[in-house]
Chain A
Amino acid sequence: MKKYLSYLLVLVFFSIHATEKDSLSLFKKYDFSNRVGIFEEEEDCDACGCSASGGSMGFASMLTTNFIGIRYFNQSYKSTDGLYSNSPWYDENFNTIQVWGRIPIVKNVQATVLLPYHFHNRESNNGKQNISGIGDITLLGMYQIVQTKSDSLFFKHTLQLGGGVKMPTGKFDETNNGSVNPSYQVGTGSWDYLLATEYIIRRKNWGLNNMVNYVIKTENDKSYRFGNQFNYASTLFYLVEKNHFSYAPQLGIAGELYEDNYQRGQKVRGTAGDIFLGKLGIEIGKNNFSFGANYMIPIQQNLTGGNVEANYRWSLNLNYML
C-alpha cells in the first residue's frame, strides 16, 4: 500500500512541477465556455462485484464537464474452484445500472456521485445463482489544480486531484465468499476511501487522459477486508465537431492491481491479482445529451490466483449535460 501511495504522490507532484515549468497558470478560472473537450475523470471505483471489478473501466463524458446520467455496464468472467485439474469453469455475469453525475459545488470543485444497482448471476454445480440489490454508493470530490486556458498554448493541461468515500450501502453476503470468486457480491460491506488524480493533456482535437486512483479498503462487520486496489488508465481521444453533433472516438489501456484480501486479520491466499486491459469507445453528443459506448478486453491477467478470468466488459451510458 505504501508503494502505491508513494507512486501516487510522485505522479501528482511530477505533474504539478511539469506544468509549472511550462509556466502555465494555476488555479484556472472555471470556464463554462469550455464545455466541449474536457475529458471527464475516469470514474474509478469498484464497479463491484467488488474486487475483481471494473475499477479502471469508468469512463465518463468527454463532451462535458458536468452531467448527470445513467450507465449500464456488464462484466463477463469465468471462474473455477481451482481444486482439481478437472474442475469445471463457470460463467459469471456482473451487471450494473448506475446513476452517476458530476456536479459543480464551488469554483474548481466538483462532486461525483455513483449510485449503483447490481444484478449478478453465475452458473454453479447446483444450478444458476442470482444476487441483486443496491450497491455501494460512492462520493468523490475532485479539485481542479491546474487548467491552462489560452488557445495559443501548444498543449493544454488539466490536473485534478481528489478523494472520496465508498459507503457500505450494498449488502455483503458472507456465505458468498467461501465460494470461488470472493468478489461475487453487491457490496464490500466496508467503508472504503479513495484517492484519485487525473491529468489531461490536449492539443487541438487530440487529447490524452491519464487517471490513477487508489482505493483503501477497511474491514467490514463480517471481519472481511478486501485488498486495496490500484487502478490506472490512459485514453487517447479525438474530438470531431460537425454541425450540431460532436463525437469522440477513443482508444486506451487500463489496469487494476489488487492486494490480498484478509479475513479476521488473516490473509486469504490467492486473492491478490492484476489485470491489464485494452479499451475502445466512442461518445456522441447532441444538444444537452450525450451517448457513450465502451468495450474493454483483457490483454494480460492473473486474478484470484488464476481461478477467475475476465472475458470482457462493456458499457453504455446516456448523460444529460448540466
Chain B
Amino acid sequence: MKFQLKNLALAIMTTIALTSCSNDDDNAPISGEGSLKLEFDNVYGDADLIFGTEYTNSNGEKVKPNNAIYIVSNIVLTKEDGTTYTVPKSESYFFVNEADAASTIITLPNIPAANYTSVKFGIGVDQEQFNAGADGQGDMWTTAQGLGMTWSWAAGYKFMKFEGTTTTTSHTDAVYRVHTGKTGDVYNYAEVTLNMPEKALVRTNVTPQVHIMADFKKVIDGTTKINFEEGLDVMGGTKVQNIMANNVPTMFEIHHVHND
C-alpha cells in the first residue's frame, strides 16, 4: 500500500510538473520595426519634482522650482549583441519640459525590433548641429525660442533651464535662474549613457517604455555645488561648465523598463 501511495503521489506531481512547463523561448526570429518610448521623470533627490514645492540643498539653501526644461539629443540605442541603432540626427532633438507632460515622453518610431540594453543621448545641442548654421536648424530654433531656450544666435541654444525661487542667508524667495549652454568657446555638450536594468524588447507589437529619472537636485547640488547666496543667476563661466561636465551626466538613471 505504501508503495502504491508513493507512486500515486509521484505520478500526480510529475504529470503536473511536466505538463505545466511552458515554452518561454520564442524561437521565431525577431524582425520588423517597432517603437520605443523614453520617459523623462523629473525628480528632486528621491522626491517627485513638483513646482512650488520647497526642497533643501546640502548647503542649507532652499529652492522652490517653477521651470525645468532641457534638450535631449542624438539618441543611440545599443542592442544586446553590442551593435547600435542611431536615431536619424534630423529626428533626434527633443525639448523635455516639466510643465508639458506630453513632452516628457519621447516616442522613437521605426526602431528595428531587437532587445536593447542601453541608451545614449546628449543634453543640449551638439557643436556639429550648431555649426550647421541658422539654415540648418529647421524648426528647432523657433521651437527653442518659444520655450525661451535660446540666447542670441551667436550664443546659441540653452541646453537646460532650471528656475524658481530660493531662500538663502540673505535672500527670501528670490528668483534664481540656471541656464546652461555653450560658454564662449567651450561647447559644454553633455553625453549620458544609461544601462537598462531590464532589456527593452522592441517588437512590431511591443513598445517598451524606458522610465528615466532626471534628478534636478544633482544639477545644482551634485559634484559641483551652486550657492545662490553668491549669485542668483547661473548663466555662464566655470559654474555652467562644471554643471554640464560634472553634474548633468550623473543626473539620469533608468528606474525600470516596461515591455507592454
Q: B48: which of A9, A83, A178 is its contact (CB, 8 Å)?
A: A83
How big is chain B's contact interface, by range? 35 or more
Give, as a whole number of angstroms, the nearest-CB distance from B52 to chain A.
13
Chain A residues, CB < 8 A from B255: 83
Q: A13: which of B1, B9, B24, B48 is its contact (CB, 8 Å)?
A: B9
Question: Are A193 and B19 in touch, CB under 8 angstroms?
Answer: yes
Known: A16-B5, A84-B47, A225-B22. A177 touches B16 (CB 8 A): no
Chain B residues, CB < 8 A from A17: 2
- What are 16 A-B pairs at a CB distance below 8 A? A5-B17, A9-B10, A20-B2, A26-B5, A85-B45, A143-B8, A145-B8, A161-B8, A174-B260, A178-B209, A178-B260, A195-B16, A225-B22, A264-B259, A265-B26, A269-B256
Task: Give the residue name and chain of the B residue nearest to A20 (CB).
Answer: B2
* Assembled-state Cα–Cα distance A193/B13 (Å): 10
Chain B residues, CB < 8 A from A8: 13
Chain A residues, CB < 8 A from B12: 161-163, 195
Contact with B along A159-202 (1 / 0, CB 8 A): 00111000000000011011000000000000001010000000
8 new A-B contacts, CB < 8 A, other than A86-B48, A163-B12, are A5-B17, A83-B43, A84-B48, A85-B46, A85-B47, A193-B16, A264-B201, A265-B24
Question: Are B9 and A161 in touch, CB under 8 angstroms?
Answer: yes
Chain B residues, CB < 8 A from A12: 9
Central interface residue in B43, B45, B48, B260, by most chain A CB within 10 Å: B260
B198 within 8 A of A: yes
Question: Are B20 and A86 in touch, CB under 8 angstroms?
Answer: no
* Assembled-state Cα–Cα distance A313/B8 (Å): 36
B206 within 8 A of A: yes
Chain A residues, CB < 8 A from B10: 9
Question: Are B260 and A267 in touch, CB under 8 angstroms?
Answer: no
* Assembled-state Cα–Cα distance A247/B48 (Å): 53
Contact with A along B196-211 (1 / 0, CB 8 A): 0111010000100101
Task: Give the residue name and chain of the A residue nearest to B21 (CB).
Answer: A218
Chain A residues, CB < 8 A from B211: 83
Which DSSP category, helix, strand, loop or mixed, fits chain A's interface? mixed
B171 within 8 A of A: no
Question: Are B2 and A267 in touch, CB under 8 angstroms?
Answer: no
B128 within 8 A of A: no
Task: Give the residue name and chain of the B residue nearest to A192 (CB).
Answer: B20
Known: A218-B22, A266-B201. A9 touches B9 (CB 8 A): yes
A256 within 8 A of B: no
Question: Are B16 and A145 in touch, CB under 8 angstroms?
Answer: no
Give, as a whole number of angstroms, the nearest-CB distance from B17 to chain A.
7
Q: A269-288: which residues lie under 8 A (CB-CB) from chain B?
A: 269
Question: Are A84 and B260 in touch, CB under 8 angstroms?
Answer: no
A92 within 8 A of B: no
* Assembled-state Cα–Cα distance A263/B213 (Å): 22
Question: Are B17 and A216 in touch, CB under 8 angstroms?
Answer: yes
Q: B1-44: which residues lie under 8 A (CB-CB) from chain A?
A: 1-2, 5-6, 8-10, 12-13, 16-17, 19-20, 22, 24-26, 41, 43
Task: Give the residue name and chain of the A residue nearest to B256 (CB).
Answer: A269
Question: Are A16 and B2 in touch, CB under 8 angstroms?
Answer: yes
* Assembled-state Cα–Cα distance A26/B3 (Å): 13
Question: Are A83 and B9 in touch, CB under 8 angstroms?
Answer: no
Give, as a whole number of angstroms, the nearest-CB distance from A78 to chain B.
18
Known: A85-B46, A87-B48, A174-B260. A267 touches B9 (CB 8 A): no
Give, as a whole number of angstroms, the nearest-CB distance from A207 to chain B.
23
A262 within 8 A of B: yes
Give, as a whole number of angstroms, the nearest-CB distance from A225 to chain B.
7
Known: A175-B260, A264-B201. A84 touches B46 (CB 8 A): yes
* Assembled-state Cα–Cα distance A219/B211 (Å): 25
